[in-house]
Structure 1
C-alpha cells in the first residue's frame, strides 16, 4: 500500500505543478497600453479628417472640435490607482486553494468510487499464499473452505503474473481448477506447467488429468499419450491406471479397462479396502462384454526378502508364473517397481503371455520373482531371486528372495 500512496502523491504534485506554471508565468496585462495606443491612432486619424473637412468647407468651428477630441483622449488614459487595483491579486492566493481543492477532490472520489478495500484485501491474500498452499498440500487439504480456495487462486494468479516461469505455481493452480471442475483454467494452467517441465512426472499426470476432462478428441488423445509415457517410465501412481481404465471403459474398450483395473489391484493388494471396489468395476466391464462374472481366477503372491538382500527401491520387480514342471517360458508375468518389501501382488488372465493360454487354465503352478537391477530382463548376473513351491490354483503363494545369480 505504501507504493499506492507514493504514486498518488506524485500524481497530485504533478497536477499542482501544471496548475502553478500558468499562474507564475502569466504575462503582464497590457490592455491599458494597447487601448492608449489605439486612442492615439484614432486621435491622429480624426485630426486628419478635420483638416480635410475644413479645407472642403464642411467644418466651421475646427478648433472647438479639436479641443473636444483632446479632452476625450485625456479622459480615456488609464490611471495609476486602477492599475494597482488590477494587479493586487497574489498568485499564492489562487494557488493554495487550488492545490487543496485538487487533493480533496482526488482522494474524496477515490474513497467514494475507488476499490481501496479490495486492493487492501488483495495484498493481504497475497501475503497469505505460503500458509494457504501449505494447508492445501497437507493431509487436511480438503478442509479448505470456498473462501480460502478463492483466496488461494487469487494469490496464485498474482504470483504467477510476476513469476510466469514458476511451474509449481501453475501446477497448483491447475489442481485447484480441477477440484473446482474449471476445465479451461485447468488445461491452461497445466499446459504452462508442462511447457516448463515436460519431463516432470507430477506435471505430466496433472496435464493428462486436465486433458481427459476436455471434450476435444485431440486433447484426449494427447492425454492417453502422456499417460502411456508415464507407464513406460514405471511411474507408480494409481491415478495413472485409474485414468487409463476410466478412459478405456468410456470408449467401450472393456478388455483394456479390465487390464488396468487388474494392475491397480496388483499394486494395492487384497488387504486394501479399494480392492473390492476394483473387483466390482471389473465385474461390470465383464458384464458389458457378455462374459460370465466370477469365472476369472487370480494368483496372490506374497513377496519378502531375506536379511542379506539389499534391494534398490528403484530397481524392477519381475514376477512370473510357470507351469508346475518349472518350464522356463512363463504363462503369465508382470513387472513392478521394487518399492518397499515385503509386499503382495496379484496376477490374473490380464497378465497372460499368450491370449490362447490363460493363467486361469492352470491347475497347479509355481512362481518366480527376480529383482532386475539393470533394467535388462535378458541379463541376470548379480540379480536376486526367489522361487515358490508348487501350489494349486487358488492357493496363496509365498516367495522369499534369498538367492543371487552368479
Structure 2
C-alpha cells in the first residue's frame, strides 16, 4: 500500500512540474518592443522624406507635419503601460492549477478507484496462511462459501507472483474440484503436475480433474495416471474409488465391483465406510447380472461377443478395444465395428445394426459371420504394430460368439 501512495504522489508531482515548466520558461511578450522599433524606423524614414520634400519646395509647413508625426509615435505609449499593468504572475496561475490537479486526481480515485475492494483484496491476501491451514486441517467446522472465495482470490494473487509454487496450484485445483469448476481444476492441477510430476498427491489430483472432463482423451490420461499409482508401495484409497466409479460409468460392472472389493479389504469391516462399499458392490453385481441376462436374450439381428485375453497380454489403460464383425469367409473389410475403452476382461459386448459401417449393408443382412477383436495401443486404427488381437470361429446372428485375444502383430 505504501508503494502505491508513493507512486501516486510521484505522478502528481510530475504533472505539476509539466505545468510549471511552460509557465517558468514562458517567452516575454515582445510585441510592444517590436512595434516601438517599427514606429521609430517609420518615424525616421518619414523625417527623411519630409526633409527631402522641404528641399524640393513641396512642403509648406514642415514643422506641423513633424509635430503630427511625433504625436502618432506617442499614441502607443498609454497602451503599453496598460499592458504592463495587466501582467499576471506565473505563480498566480501555477498554484490554483496545482491544487486543481491534486484535487481532481485523488477525488476521482476515491470516487472510481474501488478503494474498498482493493483494501479487502489486500486483507484477504494477507490472510492466506490462516485460510490455507483451516482448509488443510479439515476441522469439524467447514469453511464457509465466503472463506472459500477469499482463499481462491488469495491463491490466485500469490500464484500470479509465484507461478512455480506447486503446492499453491494443487490447493487451487482442490478448491476448484470442490466447486465442480472443471476448467480451473484441470488447469491448476496440470500446472502442479508440470512442476512436480512424481508427486503422488499431484498425480491423484490431476487424475481426478481429468476424470471430470467430458473429453475421452483426458479420461484415458486419467486412467493411465491412476493405474500408475496402483503400482506404488502405498496406494491412496481415492485411487481405487476413482477407478471404481469410472468403471461403473463405463458399464464395466465387474471392474467396479473388484475395485470396491479392494477398498473393503484395505479399510476392514470396522470402518464406517465398509457398509457403503458393500452396497456399491451389490449394485454393481446387480447391474452385471442384468447385463448378463440381456446378453442371453440377444436379438436375431445382433450378436454378443464374449472376449477373453491371454495371460501374457498387458494392455495399457489408455488403449482401446476394437470389435468388428466380418463375413464368415473372413473378408478384411468389416460389416460392423465398435470401439470401447479397454476396461477389464473377461467382458461381453453386443454388436447390432447401429454399428454397421457400410450404407445399404447391415449386420442383420449376414447369414454367417466371424468376429475379430483387437487392443489398439496408440489410438490409431491404421497402425497395428505391437497390438494384440484374436478372431473367432464362424457363427450366426443371435449367438454369443467367443473371442480370445492371444496374438500380437
TM superposition score normalised by structure 2: 0.65
Distance in 2 between the 1:26 and 1:14 partners? Answer: 19
Return 148-157 or 101-110, whichever deviates more: 101-110
Distance in 1 between the 2:208 and 2:49 partners? Answer: 103
Answering whether residue 4 of structure 2 is matched by residue 11 of structure 1, we say: no
Query: In structure 2, what is the equivalent of residue 269 of structure 1?
Result: 268
Q: Which runs of 4+ in 1 moved over 3 A?
A: 40-67, 77-84
**Deviation of 1:290 (Å):** 2.1
Distance in 2 between the 1:51 and 1:211 partners? Answer: 109
Distance in 1 between the 2:46 and 2:260 partners? Answer: 117
Distance in 1 between the 2:50 and 2:216 partners? Answer: 104
Query: In structure 1, what is the equivalent of residue 401 of structure 2?
Result: none
Query: In structure 1, what is the equivalent of residue 384 of structure 2?
Result: none
Query: In structure 2, what is the equivalent of residue 164 of structure 1?
Result: 163
1:281-296 alignment runs, 5 A limit: 281-290=280-289
Indicate the SS of the match to 1:32.
helix
2:226–2:239 contact (8 Å) kept in structure 1 = yes
Distance in 2 between the 1:172 and 1:60 partners? Answer: 110
Return 38-47 or 208-217, whichever deviates more: 38-47
1:135–1:141 contact (8 Å) kept in structure 2 = no
Query: In structure 1, what is the equivalent of residue 391 of structure 2?
Result: none
Indicate the SS of the match to 2:225.
helix
2:204–2:239 contact (8 Å) kept in structure 1 = yes
Distance in 1 between the 2:247 and 2:46 partners? Answer: 111
**Deviation of 1:66 (Å):** 4.7
Query: In structure 1, what is the equivalent of residue 189 of structure 2?
Result: 190
For residues 3-28 of structure 1, give each alpha carbon's deviation from its aligned partner in whole angstroms, at most 9, with x where no partner exists. 22211111111111111111212222
2:207–2:226 contact (8 Å) kept in structure 1 = yes
Query: In structure 2, what is the equivalent of residue 74 of structure 1?
Result: 74
For residues 87-119 of structure 1, give each alpha carbon's deviation from its aligned partner in whole angstroms, at most 9, with x where no partner exists. 4x3333322222222111211111111111111
1:227–1:244 contact (8 Å) kept in structure 2 = yes
1:113-152 alignment runs, 5 A limit: 113-140=112-139, 143-152=142-151
Over 3 Å counting, the alpha-carbon distance change for 1:208 and 1:52 in structure 2 is farther
Return 119-128 or 69-78, whichever deviates more: 69-78
2:32–2:80 contact (8 Å) kept in structure 1 = no
Q: CA RMSD in A?
A: 2.9
TM superposition score normalised by structure 1: 0.65
Query: In structure 2, what is the equivalent of residue 33 of structure 1?
Result: 33
Indicate the SS of the match to 1:271.
coil
Query: In structure 2, what is the equivalent of residue 402 of structure 1?
Result: none
Distance in 2 between the 1:142 and 1:196 partners? Answer: 32
**Deviation of 1:253 (Å):** 1.7
2:124–2:154 contact (8 Å) kept in structure 1 = yes
Over 3 Å counting, the alpha-carbon distance change for 1:141 and 1:104 in structure 2 is farther
Query: In structure 2, what is the equivalent of residue 219 of structure 1?
Result: 218
Over 3 Å counting, the alpha-carbon distance change for 1:210 and 1:63 in structure 2 is same
Indicate the SS of the match to 2:289.
coil
Distance in 1 between the 2:140 and 2:153 partners? Answer: 17
> What count of residue pairs does the alignment treat as equivalent?
294
Query: In structure 2, what is the equivalent of residue 2 of structure 1?
Result: 2
Over 3 Å counting, the alpha-carbon distance change for 1:53 and 1:142 in structure 2 is farther
1:202-217 alignment runs, 5 A limit: 202-217=201-216
Query: In structure 2, what is the equivalent of residue 393 of structure 1?
Result: none
Over 3 Å counting, the alpha-carbon distance change for 1:220 and 1:53 in structure 2 is farther
For residues 36-62 of structure 1, give each alpha carbon's deviation from its aligned partner in whole angstroms, at most 9, with x where no partner exists. 123334446666887999999998767
**Deviation of 1:292 (Å):** 10
| Unmatched segments (≥5 aa) in structure 1 | 294-353, 356-406
For residues 301-348 of structure 1, give each alpha carbon's deviation from its aligned partner in whole angstroms, at most 9, with x where no partner exists. xxxxxxxxxxxxxxxxxxxxxxxxxxxxxxxxxxxxxxxxxxxxxxxx
Distance in 1 between the 2:275 and 2:18 partners? Answer: 79
**Deviation of 1:70 (Å):** 3.0
1:248–1:254 contact (8 Å) kept in structure 2 = yes
Indicate the SS of the match to 2:240.
helix
Over 3 Å counting, the alpha-carbon distance change for 1:45 and 1:231 in structure 2 is farther
Distance in 2 between the 1:56 and 1:175 partners? Answer: 112
Answering whether residue 85 of structure 2 is matched by residue 85 of structure 1, we say: yes
| Unmatched segments (≥5 aa) in structure 2 | 293-344, 347-409
